Amino acid sequence: MAEFFLNVADTLFDLISMSETGYEWLDKFIEQSSNALLYVAFFGLLIFVLLNKNLRKHERTEDRYIFAECILMLCSLLLNILYNRSWYIHQRWADYLVFTMPTVVELFYMLTIMQWMVFVDYCLYRSRDHIRRRYKHAVIPILIVEAADAIQSFTAYGMNGAMDTMLVFIGVLYYCRFFVELLYIITAVRLVTIHEKESREPAFLRLDAFIIPFVLGCFFRYYSVPLMVLGIILTYLAVIKRDRYLDPETGFFNRDYLDFLGRYRDRKKYDGGNGILIEATGHREEMAALLNELKPADSDVFILDNDRFLLLSESLKDSAVKMAVMIITGETENSENPYTPVITSVSRKKDESAGMFFKRLSDFGGACEGGPDGAGDVARNGAAL
């Protein structure tokens, strides 16, 4: 019995590390299925990019990140296909390709995982400055590992028996790649986990959507690139669910997201925060630009109608609300095209759930109903609460 389990463990290790089991029929199936999946992944990803308008134009930051990942994956898939075909070509350049192609493929693969990690961070915190500061040295481990692999490939090329002397070095490089890729994946998981604990808003990123394909790809190398493609598509599909809640012109959240956020916070037992309702009749673009510039870091801007906006924040207290109203009013009255928006601040009632509060904000007209006990206190254009 012990010998049986040892044989099973040895077979699993060979399957994970080399995708070889010693069983001819199984190894043949792995080889043929992985080759077929390369073509499926290549054309599937190409069609996915061409059919997705936002991804194809890649004007938004998150679309640019995923578009770059798709290009890296398409190059990696094409190189894998050429690498598999090179075994049937007997010219010298094909022999050289056999030695150098794995290094290039692994470089694209590791860069894609790193780029994906950066994409996850941006989707959560939406700060390009934060991305530049945090990940400016993230590529260094990849460059070190791939430079060592390139040296090994060039040294082994054309030298009979050289591979035998470099087996240990090749094994070390394999595990170095594995741990670097796993480090990037763990970093992304931690980012999502921490965000879910600290933020009161949904991240639109399901951990299982990308963790399962990526981790399986790290272990089962024959299927690594197609699994990576699957992980990228699932990640992006999870994120573009957010697009239904965005106004295409301003980039602000729409009224539907306010309703969705209310249900989400009720489910998580969160409160509703405070809101500032702004009506800038005939000045939609000017007010959108102003709010985009002045809004606090921990707040969200909603567009409820053509020229009606909501600034929602957890940290806006009474004094901060009055200051925000004064700043917005001052900026609009001193602009090139002066105007005076109608601004109303509203607080959640003591017995009001987040969903009920957001419904009141969404209705807009009921936001001015208040009382002396603070259950919906109102401030208009800088008036005291």
Alpha-carbon distance 312 to 275, whole Å?
4
Cα distance between residue 234 and residue 244, in whole Å: 17
What is the reported pTM? 0.74
Over residues 243-267, mean pLDDT? 86
Residue 370: per-residue pLDDT: 38
Looking at the fold, whether 107 and 212 belong to one and the same domain comes out as: yes
Does 314 score more than 80 pLDDT? no
pLDDT tens column, 108-155:
888 888 988 998 888 888 888 889 889 989 999 999 988 887 776 666
Nearest alpha carbon to residue 261 among 161, 149, 355? 355
> Is residue 25 in a domain?
yes
The secondary structure of 269-285 as a DSSP string is T----EEEEEE-TT-HH
Question: 382, 263, 345, 363: which is closest to 304 by C-alpha?
Answer: 363
Q: What is the pLDDT of residue 44?
A: 94
Of 245, 277, 306, which closes a domain? 245
Q: Mean pLDDT over residues 45-58, rounded?
A: 91
277: CATH: 3.30.70.270
Exposed, middle or buried by CB within 10 Å (0-12, 13-18, 19+), for 183?
Answer: middle
> How far separated are the first and last CA of the chain, in Å rounded?
78
Task: Sheet with 299-303: list strands edge to edge.
Answer: 299-303, 308-313, 274-279, 342-347, 379-380
- 191 and 267 in a common domain: no
Residue 276 within a domain: yes
Considering the domain architecture, whether residues 154 and 295 belong to the same structural domain is answered as no
pLDDT at res. 374 = 37
**Mean pLDDT score, 242-253:** 86
Give residue-wise pLDDT tens across range 206-247: 777 777 888 787 777 778 888 889 888 888 888 788 888 988
Is residue 11 predicted with pLDDT exceeding 80?
A: no
The DSSP 8-state label assigned to residue 87 in this structure reads T
Predicted confidence at residue 324, as pLDDT, reads 79
Domain boundary among 245, 279, 296: 245
* Euclidean distance between CA atoms 150 and 103, whole angstroms: 6
User: Would residue 250 count as lying in a domain?
Assistant: no
User: Residue 41: what pLDDT?
Assistant: 93
Residue 19 pLDDT exceeds 90:
no
* Residues 6 or more apart whose Cβ sits within 8 Å of residue 150: 100, 103
Q: Given CA atoms 123, 127, 128, 130 in this order, what sign does their dihedral have?
A: negative
Q: What is the predicted pLDDT for the residue at 384?
A: 32
Residue 45: pLDDT band (50, 70, 90) is very high
pLDDT at 49: 93
Which CATH number covers residue 101?
Answer: 1.20.1070
Whether residue 356 is found in the same domain as residue 263 = yes
Number of residues in the chain: 385
In the chain, the percentage of residues whose pLDDT exceeds 90 is 7
In DSSP terms, 277 is beta-bridged to 310, 344
pLDDT tens sequence across 147-187: 887 776 666 555 554 555 566 676 677 778 888 888 998 99
Q: Are residues 270 and 339 in the same domain?
A: yes
Domain hosting 362: range is 255-380
CB count within 10 Å of CB 301 equals 22
- Any idea which of 32-36, 106-110, 312-316 has the lowest mean pLDDT? 312-316
The CA distances from residue 332 to 87, 290, 293, 316, 339, in Å, are: 69, 8, 13, 21, 6
Instruction: State the pLDDT at residue 142.
Output: 92
Task: State how many domains the chain has.
Answer: 2
Structure-model confidence comparison of residues 380 and 182, the more confident one: 182
Say if residue 264 is in the same domain as residue 317. yes
**316: confidence class by pLDDT, cuts 50, 70, 90:** low
pLDDT > 70: percent of the chain = 76
Spatial CA neighbour of 297 closest among 105, 118, 130 = 130
Whether residue 87 is found in the same domain as residue 152: yes
Q: Of 146-160, 196-210, 268-282, 327-341, give the range with the top mean pLDDT.
A: 327-341
Domain boundary residue, one of 180, 215, 245? 245
Q: Is the pLDDT of residue 40 over 90?
A: yes
Indicate whether 158 and 293 sit together in one domain: no
Q: What is the mean pLDDT of the chain?
A: 77
The per-residue pLDDT for 367 is 41
Verify that 191 and 229 share a domain, yes or no.
yes
Shared-domain flag, residues 267 and 366:
yes
Residue 186 inside a domain? The answer is: yes
Same domain, 22 and 58: yes
Out of 90-94, 250-254, 269-273, 359-363, the most confident range is 250-254
Q: CA dist 59 to 53, 90, 156, Å? A: 10, 45, 44
Residue 385 lies in a domain: no
Rounded CA separation 108/278 (Å): 48
Instruction: Evaluate whether residue 261 is within a structural domain.
Output: yes
**What whole-number distance in Å separates Cα of residue 252 and Cα of residue 90?**
58
Output the six-digit token pair for 142: 């990849």
In this structure, the answer to whether residues 296 and 184 fall within a common structural domain is no
pLDDT value, residue 103: 77
